Structure 1
């Protein structure tokens, strides 16, 4: 059972997230041979004030 965790900053709409999990599932099926019904995708959305790069919160970027 492939289990894929994707961490991303919040802000995508429902259609974008649907497309993401559909495409990721298809890639896992293609490259592993696992049946789609066994592929699990977990999306973890973070607010911009819970993620930083190089010591700067994404919420502080302009």
Structure 2
């Protein structure tokens, strides 16, 4: 049973999430030859203030050059 844990920035609509999980499920079933009922997807919305890349929070303003 494939299980996906996906973290993304908050703010996507329920319709965007619905389309996203439908696409992931379809491609997983096509690729792995499994039934849709065996595919689990866990979406976690993360605030930009709780995510950092290269030592910088995504909520911080862009540094001036």
TM over 0.5: yes
Task: Please report how far the alpha carbon of residue 61 of structure 1 lies from its aligned counterpart in structure 2 after TM superposition.
Answer: 3.2
What residue number does 1:49 align with? Answer: 49
Q: How many corresponding residue pairs? A: 62
Task: Please report how far the alpha carbon of residue 45 of structure 1 lies from its aligned counterpart in structure 2 after TM superposition.
Answer: 1.0
Task: Give TM-score, length-normalised by structure 1.
Answer: 0.93
Task: Please report how far the alpha carbon of residue 44 of structure 1 lies from its aligned counterpart in structure 2 after TM superposition.
Answer: 1.1
Unaligned stretches of 5+ residues in structure 2: none
What residue number does 1:26 align with? Answer: 26
Max Rg structure: 2
More helix by share: 1
Deviations 1:23-50 (A, max 9, x none): 0000100000110011000001100000
Q: After TM superposition, what 4+ stretches of structure 1 lie above 4 angstroms from structure 2? A: none
Unaligned stretches of 5+ residues in structure 1: none
Task: Give TM-score, length-normalised by structure 2.
Answer: 0.89
